[in-house]
Copies of this chain bind each other. A is one copy, B any other.
Amino acid sequence: MSTPTLATPPPAPGAPLTKKALTADHPTWCPGCGDFAVLASFYKVLEKLNYPQEKIVTFAGIGCSSRFPYFVNTHGGHYIHGRSLPFAAGISLGRDDLHVFVFGGDGDGFSIGGNHLVHTARKNPRMTYVIMDNSVYGLTKKQTSPTSPIGFKSKTDPWGAYDQPINPMRTLINSGATFVARSHATQVNHMVDMMLRAANHDGFSVVEILSECVEFFEGAFDGAVPRKGGAWQTIELKKNDGSPEDAARHDPTDEVAAFKLASEPWPGKFGVFYENKARPTKNALEQKLIANTREKTKNASDLELLSKTFARMR
């Protein structure tokens, strides 16, 4: 939980961040859309984190889910389709004092944005990415997405989808993201817990939330909803207490174990798949580089530095 780079002081006591303060435009989502619950949970997360409001940034790409920033009263924006991660990396690296959250859909994140996800992950900038996976393209009205299951009938696969879907947890674990978790939009407490842990992680943290599109893929995630006859199984994390039960628990620092867990059959488990607290963030590495370099140049002023450079060109 200790994140030394999160340098922002908490707001003055007596002025905690409230849901009211955080609420912006009324969501334009369809009634019943899973994304409402994600939004509600995110408000709770921010209330708990209680960062200074002006230091929070909420960014997104394009899609139903990517409308998120309009509904949260923080600094933020709505970028182009699939490219929000490198944008957000720029925010985070350039402004280490901010708390950067990125929201998006499965199409935005795994289709057009899939490469940025992998490369942002391996750079490990400090920020939190929440993917609202509805296994369909919502905003463009029902085309196959990279997480649509084989057989899903969409406007671009009227006979059912053919292409093998990607496995988000496996992809994230492999990519180098240092915190990888999975949740479900019907489980508010679990979502809050996962997003909170992600936010407190010092690095690139990702939470994938299964969030139903009631308009174009109803019932997609019932398999994990007990009241719809599904199985809700959470991941128990190792306590390292030497107890016999502990052997069966998941070690989130073990990539291979995480990969195996992620390979379990649908609907799989929910919780923290992977966490790596050892790898330094790109924020920290770049700051260290700056510090080292400036030490070597004896903290010369910008003018001194550039003047010396020109002097060398005489």
Point out residues on A near B: beta carbons under 8 Å: 111-112, 114-115, 118-119, 122-124, 146, 159, 162-167, 170-171, 174, 176, 255-256, 259-260, 263, 279, 282, 285-286, 289
Contact = CB atoms under 8 A, between A and B. Distances in A.
A106 to B, nearest CB: 13
Contact of A114 (B118, B165, B176, B282): B118
Contacts of A259: 174, 256, 259
A166 B171 contact: no
Contacts of A170: 174
Contacts of A123: 163-164
Interface of chain A: mostly helix, strand, loop or mixed: helix
Contacts of A263: 255-256
Given A122-B166, A159-B289, 18 more contacts: A111-B119, A112-B115, A114-B114, A118-B171, A119-B146, A122-B146, A122-B163, A122-B164, A123-B164, A162-B282, A162-B285, A163-B282, A164-B279, A167-B174, A170-B174, A171-B174, A255-B263, A259-B259
User: In the assembly, how many copies of this chain are there?
Assistant: 2
A279 B163 CA distance: 10
A174 B174 contact: yes
24 contacts: A111-B119, A114-B114, A114-B115, A114-B118, A115-B118, A118-B118, A118-B166, A118-B171, A119-B146, A122-B163, A122-B165, A123-B163, A123-B164, A159-B289, A162-B286, A163-B282, A164-B176, A166-B176, A167-B174, A256-B256, A256-B259, A256-B260, A256-B263, A259-B259
In the A-B complex, the 7 residue pairs with the closest CB atoms: A115-B115, A114-B115, A122-B164, A174-B174, A256-B260, A162-B285, A259-B259
Contacts of A165: 122
Contacts of A118: 114-115, 118, 166, 171
A310 to B, nearest CB: 20
A286 B159 CA distance: 11
Nearest to A165: B122
**Of A112, A166, A286, which is in contact with the most chain B CB atoms at under 10 Å from its CB?**
A166
A279 B162 CA distance: 11
A149 to B, nearest CB: 13
Nearest to A280: B162
Given A115-B114, A118-B114, A119-B114, A164 B124 contact: yes
Q: Name which of A115, A162, A282 has the most chain B CB atoms within 10 A of its CB.
A: A115
A286 B161 CA distance: 11
A176 B164 CA distance: 8
Contacts of A119: 111, 114, 146
Contacts of A260: 256
Chain B CB count within 10 A is highest, among A118, A159, A171, for A118
A98 B115 CA distance: 29
Contacts of A171: 118, 174
Contacts of A256: 256, 259-260, 263
